[in-house]
A and B are shown apart, each in its own frame.
Chain A
């Protein structure tokens, strides 16, 4: 069977499928249980959140443009950094990946939809409420949370500005949403794979989301637990983290980072999956070392549970504890290195071309590796005492989250936009987006390394005079990076409205079931599972 006949039969299925016709207007989006609709909702939501969190970051950078206090009060500055972090982690990066999972997983494994479509609708639609509570607290008397996205006790309990309850409930809702999304992903992958697609034949993209979903199921409940303790400590007189009542504030950090460290892999493993899909497509070679990639991803996930205290080296741990967490952390560099070498080996002697998805993927490999190396530096206990709580840390996690996770999301968006919209995006505008982003993001984050090494502390609205020049450049980079993201918005809107008609498989090197269906992907795909032997070209 050729690709085209498959497409036709799928389109036919759509017409024959009378029980679930597309609704129109707002109710289509409110009541939808279609994985493609929900994926679209997730992606738009995360992009709006990216712009919202980005706007907060612009105010932060404007305040830090020169030393002294110009624009905002220190307390409001704290609210900005806190909500910026929360929005970017829980509102931008995580929902964007869930959006990819919804759109692509069923099509990649040959399933008609996600396994639990009604829960899928629910897990998206509670998210806007969570962020309405969080962002709404800016307009309340207490102000928004001001204790940092890590909400260390007793900052968030005894010294809270009164926003703790809103914060806790917002996080609860986000957690419930993530857990439901993760359960859906696991069930879908376990049960809805097309006949013949064994685990080790799944695309690596599917593998990374599978493992990430397990991580979410394991640690989001711990986050729910720790914020619940925070709530009862603040309002109901318990003393989990209050030394006066026999509790221990350092214990907060242990529980929080037991969630927090796997959380950072939740935000990067799907990025690995996306990049591992795109690099082979534009190198026109198979992914180098597929099974080693699967094992590397799994071992990163397992190791993430035993490294949490590397965030807390300065709390006064016994030497043995410091050494244990230092070595375990450095061990993670091994599977991560395997991945980076595999990507490079995939490109090696490939017939490469440099469309925008590939550009973002290559930038990901290089810049994520820089972020990984600064992470390795931070893992060294003795030097961490110098780097702790400085801009070096800020530089590190922005390299892995912005040029890592966010760049992979852009790569994936450009890669699958033709499949989603049925149109090719404007390549030259997209290249503008890439080059503007690449230059500005490095201007934004690279000097932060030097600022941190020179001792500039994070989360402070003012700084010593000697940091003024670098901060000015960082702020200019920040504004430029923020504006560059509007180019992406323009590309996407143009692509939805029209453009060159996209063929079913616009990238000649791409592989996978999603390219066997028409572009744009019909509302219902794979109502009958595909036969893998016939599809493989």
Chain B
């Protein structure tokens, strides 16, 4: 069957030509390839809205004093871990602190580069339970910036935060976890 007759038959049957269908399908293929990548920013937006995965703010917020809710006490726990391959000592100075919602607190974390070379570290925070992440507000945090430490250098790094007054009533304990990564290779100067 020649190309011409085939197209004629297709037209009679109300069908589209092969090339038209192929073009549409290839377009879908590229669109779905793009959709895979679009999921990356979409996922971030989704996490920001829902607090999924315990993501907290990565830029400092201004402290708004709406009064302190002294009727509630929230226990905030701090845990740290170092990722594979970074020879730092990294730990909270105090392991937990009690705060009232709306009250601003300041705590320190201790880090020491135990290796013989300069290393740039980056701490990544995560709050558990995830739904509380949106209510944990960091005003100032060492995790907003990179931490370059010379060989053997030690430092105390500050975290200033408050817990939002709108924190759901059933949540009484928050855990803030920091994981420290070696980003010397890919740090932006």
Q: Is A491 an interface residue (CB 8 A)?
A: no
In the complex, the answer to whether A248 meets B16 with C-beta atoms within 8 Å is no
In the complex, the answer to whether B52 meets A317 with C-beta atoms within 8 Å is yes
Docked Cα-Cα span, A380 to B52, in Å, equals: 21
- If A112-B1, A187-B18, A250-B53 touch, whether A318 touches B130 (CB-CB below 8 Å) is yes
How many A-B contacts if CB must be within 8 Å?
101
Docked Cα-Cα span, A226 to B43, in Å, equals: 14
Docked Cα-Cα span, A183 to B83, in Å, equals: 45
Stretch of B25-33, B99-107, B149-157 lying at the A interface: B25-33
Of B1, B33, B58, B131, which one neighbours A318 at CB under 8 angstroms?
B131
Stretch of A27-35, A123-131, A215-223 lying at the B interface: A215-223
Quick one: which of A244, A250, A255, A527 has the most chain B CB within 10 A? A244
Residues of B contacting A112 with CB < 8 Å? 1
Residues of A contacting B128 with CB < 8 Å? 316
In the complex, the answer to whether B131 meets A221 with C-beta atoms within 8 Å is no
- If A218-B32, A244-B183, A251-B40 touch, whether A191 touches B1 (CB-CB below 8 Å) is no
- If A191-B21, A248-B53 touch, whether A218 touches B28 (CB-CB below 8 Å) is yes
In the complex, the answer to whether A243 meets B36 with C-beta atoms within 8 Å is no
- If A190-B16, A245-B186, A318-B130 touch, whether A221 touches B36 (CB-CB below 8 Å) is yes
Residues of A contacting B30 with CB < 8 Å? 221
Docked Cα-Cα span, A318 to B26, in Å, equals: 37
In the complex, the answer to whether B21 meets A190 with C-beta atoms within 8 Å is yes
Nearest residue, chain B, Cβ from A184: B22
Docked Cα-Cα span, A13 to B10, in Å, equals: 22
- If A115-B18, A195-B13, A244-B181 touch, whether A217 touches B39 (CB-CB below 8 Å) is no
Q: Is B84 an interface residue (CB 8 A)?
A: yes
Docked Cα-Cα span, A338 to B1, in Å, equals: 41
In the complex, the answer to whether A158 meets B33 with C-beta atoms within 8 Å is no
Give 1 or 0 for each of A275-319: 1 = CB within 8 Å of chain B CB. Answer: 000000000000000000000000000000000000000001110
Chain A: number of interface residues, binned into ranges: 35 or more
Docked Cα-Cα span, A179 to B33, in Å, equals: 12
Residues of B contacting A438 with CB < 8 Å? none
Q: Is A237 an interface residue (CB 8 A)?
A: yes
Docked Cα-Cα span, A223 to B32, in Å, equals: 10
Nearest residue, chain A, Cβ from B39: A255
B31 to chain A, nearest CB (A): 8
- If A187-B22, A243-B181 touch, whether A217 touches B130 (CB-CB below 8 Å) is no
Nearest residue, chain A, Cβ from B86: A244
Q: Is B122 an interface residue (CB 8 A)?
A: yes
Residues of B contacting A219 with CB < 8 Å? 32
Docked Cα-Cα span, A343 to B30, in Å, equals: 38
Nearest residue, chain A, Cβ from B51: A318
Docked Cα-Cα span, A255 to B42, in Å, equals: 11
- If A190-B21, A243-B124 touch, whether A251 touches B39 (CB-CB below 8 Å) is yes
In the complex, the answer to whether A316 meets B53 with C-beta atoms within 8 Å is yes
Nearest residue, chain A, Cβ from B84: A158
In the complex, the answer to whether B52 meets A116 with C-beta atoms within 8 Å is no
Q: Is A225 an interface residue (CB 8 A)?
A: yes
In the complex, the answer to whether A225 meets B124 with C-beta atoms within 8 Å is no
Docked Cα-Cα span, A226 to B37, in Å, equals: 8
Residues of A contacting B131 with CB < 8 Å? 318
Nearest residue, chain B, Cβ from A119: B22
Give the interface SS of chain B, mostly helix, strand, loop or mixed. Answer: helix
Nearest residue, chain B, Cβ from A251: B43
Q: Is A87 an interface residue (CB 8 A)?
A: no
A528 to chain B, nearest CB (A): 8
In the complex, the answer to whether B33 meets A221 with C-beta atoms within 8 Å is yes
Give 1 or 0 for each of B89-114: 1 = CB within 8 Å of chain A CB. Answer: 00000000000000000000000000
Residues of A contacting B26 with CB < 8 Å? 183
Q: Which B residues, 163 to 182, have Cβ-Cβ distances below 8 Å to chain A? A: 179, 181-182
In the complex, the answer to whether B13 meets A116 with C-beta atoms within 8 Å is no
Q: Is B72 an interface residue (CB 8 A)?
A: no
B97 to chain A, nearest CB (A): 24
Of A217, A239, A248, A317, which one neighbours B43 at CB under 8 angstroms?
A248
In the complex, the answer to whether A254 meets B181 with C-beta atoms within 8 Å is no
Q: Is A481 an interface residue (CB 8 A)?
A: no
In the complex, the answer to whether A240 meets B40 with C-beta atoms within 8 Å is yes
Residues of A contacting B25 with CB < 8 Å? 183, 186-187, 217
Residues of A contacting B83 with CB < 8 Å? 244
In the complex, the answer to whether B130 meets A224 with C-beta atoms within 8 Å is no
In the complex, the answer to whether B21 meets A254 with C-beta atoms within 8 Å is no
Q: Which A residues, 241 to 259, have Cβ-Cβ distances below 8 Å to chain B? A: 243-246, 248, 250-251, 254-255, 258
Residues of A contacting B186 with CB < 8 Å? 237, 239, 245
Residues of A contacting B124 with CB < 8 Å? 243-244
Residues of A contacting B10 with CB < 8 Å? 191
In the complex, the answer to whether A318 meets B52 with C-beta atoms within 8 Å is yes
In the complex, the answer to whether B39 meets A254 with C-beta atoms within 8 Å is yes
Q: Is B8 an interface residue (CB 8 A)?
A: no
Residues of B contacting A248 with CB < 8 Å? 43, 47, 53, 55
In the complex, the answer to whether A316 meets B130 with C-beta atoms within 8 Å is yes
Give 1 or 0 for each of A202-243: 1 = CB within 8 Å of chain B CB. Answer: 000000000000000111111111100100000001011001
B52 to chain A, nearest CB (A): 6
Residues of B contacting A245 with CB < 8 Å? 183, 186
Docked Cα-Cα span, A239 to B182, in Å, equals: 13
Residues of A contacting B18 with CB < 8 Å? 115-116, 187, 191
In the complex, the answer to whether B1 meets A527 with C-beta atoms within 8 Å is yes
Docked Cα-Cα span, A428 to B148, in Å, equals: 75
In the complex, the answer to whether B35 meets A222 with C-beta atoms within 8 Å is yes
Docked Cα-Cα span, A250 to B128, in Å, equals: 15
Nearest residue, chain A, Cβ from B33: A221
Q: Is B50 an interface residue (CB 8 A)?
A: yes
Of B17, B36, B84, which one neighbours A225 at CB under 8 angstroms?
B36
Q: Which B residues, 112 to 151, have Cβ-Cβ distances below 8 Å to chain A? A: 122, 124, 128, 130-131
A-B contacts, 16 of them at CB < 8 A, read A183-B29, A187-B21, A191-B17, A191-B21, A217-B25, A218-B32, A221-B35, A222-B36, A226-B36, A239-B186, A248-B47, A316-B54, A318-B52, A318-B131, A321-B52, A527-B1
| Contacts beyond the supplied A115-B18, A179-B29, A191-B21: 9 A-B pairs with Cβ under 8 Å | A112-B1, A183-B26, A187-B22, A217-B28, A225-B35, A243-B179, A243-B181, A255-B39, A318-B51
Which 5 residue pairs across A and B have the least CB separation, nearest first?
A225-B36, A244-B181, A221-B33, A221-B32, A222-B36
